[in-house]
Each structure stands twice: as C-alpha cells, then as structure tokens.
Amino acid sequence: MRIDVLTLFPDMFEGVFGASILGKARDKGLVRLSAVNFREYSTNKHGQVDDTPYGGGGGMVLKPEPIFAAVEDLLRRKEAETPQTEAAAEDDTVPTPAPPRIVLLCPQGETFTQRKAEEFAREEHLIFICGHYEGYDERIRTGLVTDEISIGDYVLTGGELPAMVMIDSTVRLLPGVLGNENSAVTDSFSTGLLEYPHYTRPTEFRGMQVPDILLSGHHANIEAWRRRESLRRTLQRRPELLDRLELNKQESKWLDE
C-alpha cells in the first residue's frame, strides 16, 4: 500500500511514520508513507496557498491550484515509477492499478469508523489532504476528492492529527503488520463488540483476583466467558452497537442476567 499526505506541516509526520508498528511496517516494505508540503505547489511567488473568500466574511480559504497540482504531480511520479508496458496494457491478466482514494479531512465529513479503516486497508493508494484554514475552496471537494472524513464531532486546528489517526488504524490492518494476526480480529469494533477484559500475571494483585475461569485451562469455557464479558461490556458502555448484531438465544440470555 502507498499513502501520501498533503500538508503544510510534513515534519509533524516524521515521528509517527518512523515509530512503533508503522515504522516496522514501513521497514518491512508493507506500506510506503510520505508527507508532501503542498506549499511547494503554490503558483504565487510568496508561496501563498490560501486567500480571502469571495462574497466576504472572515477567515481564509485554501486555494484549489496548489492542491490539484500536488495530487497531479504525485500521480505523474507514481506512473513514472511503474510504467505500464504495452504488453501489460493488452494482457487482461495484468491488473490495471486502481485509482487512489483522495481523502479530505474536515469536520463536515463522514465519521471515521473501524469499517472505514477496513475499507481503506483494501486500497492500493490513499492520499490525505490536510487543511489548516477556515475552509477549502469547494472545487477541491467537487473536482478532486473521493471521500470527506471527520474523526469526530469536535474541531481541530488542522487535518494532520486526523490523518495520523486514520493512517495508524488502517496500516495496522494490513496483512503482516501485526505480529499476532489474531489481535486485529478480536479488537474492539472488529467483532462489532467491545473487547472482553484481559489479565496477566500475577493471579492476585492488591486483593484483586484474576477470574478462576481464565486459570482453568478449559478453552471452550474461556471462549464463552470472553464472549459474555464482551456482550456485557458493550451493553453497559455502548448499547447502540448491539442493535447491529444478531445474537443467539444464549447470548440474549446473558444480557438479561
């Protein structure tokens, strides 16, 4: 997978792209990550990328030219790196590269969820556009982007932190990124439920005990306990998640207890 971020603050991404699981995924060649300063694509000698809104009013609006130029340059470079030979173009068995998802970060967008992370993880190429201004010229929305995404109902100073959130949650789903493949499968939300409680050594800590069942070695009973705890925790904390699930008789009974 390839992920490019267009931002006025590419330095913000250095630590995130190089550290921990993202850093390892990059070192293993599972993802290619880059942050590009779209100010380099300003058509103005002062490097201006925003302007006052037509019709008046406060704030500044991100101009369309630098954003379109930066995306077009990215795509040109990508094509130059992977030239389509004539033979490959004619050969039906060689897949043509999928067009990138071009994602605009903004509070008006669709709310990001685990489902969206799973959808993004199936893409070959993601481009995130991070603004730092009052708004985006509407033509960026209508003429360039494929998705508008928000990470929640609050307003941040820019799209950089939301882009990092989305990149982190997407990359950890790529095959080979997490050591234990199961850990993404049992995550909160992947199953549609919140995760069950975890314990490790010691069996007793400051008077707090590990539940006996986890020490029993009885795998079927442990699985059933985990499922029940997941369901109960979801009922307590996020009951609306249960509306989307089909529960069997036993599971419905657990919730009534």
Mark residues 134-153: x for contact with ligand ADE by CB under 6 A, - for none.
----------------xxx-
Strand stretches in the chain, DSSP E: 2-7, 32-37, 50-51, 61-62, 101-111, 125-129, 135-136, 147-150, 204-205, 208-209
Q: What is the 3-state secondary structure (H, E, C) of 168-194?
A: HHHHCCCCCCCCCCHHHHCCCCCCCCC
Q: Which of 65, 118, 123, 134 is catalytic?
A: 134
* Shortest reach from residue 195's CB to ligand ADE, in Å: 25
Q: Which of 187, 195, 229, 251 is catalytic?
A: 187
Q: Which of 26, 39, 65, 107 is catalytic?
A: 107
Told to judge if 134 belongs to the known catalytic residues of this protein, a careful annotator would answer yes
Annotated binding residue 54: no
* Shortest reach from residue 108's CB to ligand ADE, in Å: 9
Annotated binding residue 192: no
Told to judge if 172 belongs to the known catalytic residues of this protein, a careful annotator would answer yes
| Sites for ligand ADE among residues 70-129 (CB under 6 A) | 105-107
* Three-state DSSP class for residue 37: strand
Q: Which is nearer to ligand ADE, 104 or 177 (CB)?
A: 104
Residues whose CB is less than 8 angstroms from the CB of residue 18 and which lie 6 or more positions away in sequence, other chains included = 26
* Shortest reach from residue 129's CB to ligand ADE, in Å: 10
Distance in angstroms (rounded) separating the CA atoms of residues 152 and 186: 23
Told to judge if 107 belongs to the known catalytic residues of this protein, a careful annotator would answer yes
Distance in angstroms (rounded) separating the CA atoms of residues 182 and 178: 9
Which residues contact ligand ADE (rule: CB under 6 A)? 105-107, 150-152, 154-156, 159, 162
